């Protein structure tokens, strides 16, 4: 009897599916503590298959699960009441996760905590082949400063983090260009210099002369008008005034407090996801203020994937491609190859519009990453090296 190659493949596939369904996955026992564990904590761990193993003592619990990447994995209890379990292989890079103990979703007491997904909670780092670019190395390090300010526009205290490159404090005559860098939805101003590694990425780029020394300002993208005095508007959705806060409050404050070069040629603006959307609008509304733009995993037509009508999109700001090519020094877009809908099609529709309008831009794809921080670290690494040159 002769079998066609197609039939052989089908049989092999069936065997594999059957094996997967009936038997436990083969787990490689080379787990190591995650690089973002709390001091001295042995769990969570990651192995060479990129599986996550968590462990927690919960002697009286009836069910404990590891909740990562949208999947809940049952953990198993040993005779001492310690529950341990593993996830399927995860993408390289940083992921938020949590534990679930008898129905309660809680942070893992073993991990450090990060703000994302709308909460402070656990995160884990799956080593990536290219992790050297964001590693903590023995190179000169810049400072990350917490800068608290009172915003009259929002009638509230707000905060931005400011990266100043090595040498900023000593070279008191030198002035620096500035990158305004924004987080995504359900994240905040802490993200870029924590799980985003923006400071280490720039330290490494600057030390190897791949980027020029620059200041980076990381503010909070959520900003609303003070509603204390307008009780009648309580039930209306809040209108973001982040653009106004950035232009009228943050930039003047940064230019006054830090030794910036306060010109459009020396200002860049970039963001990830919601931040890409926000900063693109701000860029196009303020070409007198910025000349470099970076959009990481997002464009202003989000979540739409339809053909863009340039006459109406962003008030026609993309109508005159020739004029934009003269004004914009760099228009840069990045996306992970594993991003979910609607990002690929939405960014695709935006790129089609740029091409139709003859607008010059650069496009980068992060291999094998989705809508997560390794995509954005790589985007920043690529983008920052092209600024202010």
Nearer to its own copies, 81 or 358 (CB): 81
Nearer to its own copies, 118 or 127 (CB): 118
How far is CA 24 from its chain centroid?
Answer: 34
Q: Tell me how far apart the alpha carbons of residues 33 and 48 are, in angstroms, rounded to a whole number.
A: 12
* Nearest distance in Å: CB 254, its own copies: 10
180: nearest Cα among 148, 220, 141, 212: 220
* Nearest distance in Å: CB 184, its own copies: 15
Q: Tell me how far apart the alpha carbons of residues 300 and 293 are, in angstroms, rounded to a whole number.
A: 13
> In the complex, which residues of this chain contact its own copies (CB under 8 A)?
38-40, 56-64, 81, 99, 101-107, 109, 112-113, 118-121, 136, 138, 141, 143-150, 157, 162, 169-170, 172, 188, 193, 199, 256-259
Nearer to its own copies, 98 or 128 (CB): 98
* Nearest distance in Å: CB 292, its own copies: 24
Question: In degrees rounded to 5, what are phi and psi of residue 107?
Answer: -65, 150
How far is CA 139 from its chain centroid?
Answer: 24
* Nearest distance in Å: CB 210, its own copies: 20
* Nearest distance in Å: CB 339, its own copies: 26
Please name the residues in contact with 335: beta carbons below 8 A apart, sequence gap of 6 or more: 296, 297, 343, 344, 347, 363, 364, 365, 366, 375
* Nearest distance in Å: CB 162, its own copies: 8
Cis peptide before 122 (omega within 30 of 0): no
Q: Is 96 exposed, middle or buried, given 0-12, 13-18 or 19+ CB atoms closer than 10 A?
A: buried
Nearer to its own copies, 63 or 210 (CB): 63
Nearer to its own copies, 169 or 208 (CB): 169
Nearer to its own copies, 105 or 352 (CB): 105
């Amino acid at each position: 009897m002769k079998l066609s190659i197609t039939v052989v493949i089908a049989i092999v596939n069936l065997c594999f599916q059957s094996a997967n369904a009936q038997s436990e996955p083969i787990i490689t026992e080379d787990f190591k503590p995650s690089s973002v564990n709390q001091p001295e904590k042995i769990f969570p761990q990651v192995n060479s298959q990129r599986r996550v193993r968590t462990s927690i003592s919960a002697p009286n619990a009836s069910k404990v699960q590891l909740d990562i990447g949208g999947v809940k994995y049952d953990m198993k209890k040993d005779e001492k009441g310690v529950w341990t379990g593993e996830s399927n292989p995860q993408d390289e890079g940083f992921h938020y996760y949590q534990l679930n103990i008898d129905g309660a979703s809680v942070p893992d007491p073993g991990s450090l905590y990060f703000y994302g997904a709308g909460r402070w909670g656990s995160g884990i780092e799956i080593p990536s082949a290219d992790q050297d670019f964001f590693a903590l190395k023995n190179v000169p390090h810049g400072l990350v400063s917490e800068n608290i300010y009172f915003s009259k526009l929002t009638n509230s205290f707000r905060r931005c983090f400011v990266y100043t490159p090595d040498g900023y404090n000593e070279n008191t005559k030198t002035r620096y260009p500035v990158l305004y860098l924004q987080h995504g939805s359900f994240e905040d101003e802490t993200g870029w210099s924590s799980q985003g590694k923006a400071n280490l990425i720039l330290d490494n780029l600057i030390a190897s002369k791949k980027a020029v020394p620059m200041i980076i300002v990381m503010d909070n993208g959520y900003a609303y008008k003070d509603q204390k005095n307008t009780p009648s508007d309580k039930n209306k959705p809040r209108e973001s005034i982040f653009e106004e806060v950035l232009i009228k409050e943050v930039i003047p404050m940064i230019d006054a407090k830090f030794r910036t070069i306060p010109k459009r040629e020396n200002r860049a603006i970039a963001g990830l996801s919601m931040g890409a959307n926000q900063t693109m609008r701000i860029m196009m509304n303020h070409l007198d203020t910025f000349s470099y733009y970076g959009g990481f995993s997002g464009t202003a037509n989000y979540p739409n994937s339809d053909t863009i009508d340039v006459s109406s999109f962003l008030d026609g700001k993309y109508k005159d491609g020739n004029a934009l090519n003269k004004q914009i020094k760099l228009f840069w877009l990045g996306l992970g190859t594993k991003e979910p809908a609607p990002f690929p099609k939405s960014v695709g529709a935006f790129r089609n519009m740029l091409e139709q309008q003859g607008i010059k831009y650069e496009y980068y794809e992060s291999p094998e990453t989705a809508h997560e921080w390794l995509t954005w670290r790589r985007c920043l690494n690529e983008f920052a090296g092209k600024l202010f040159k």
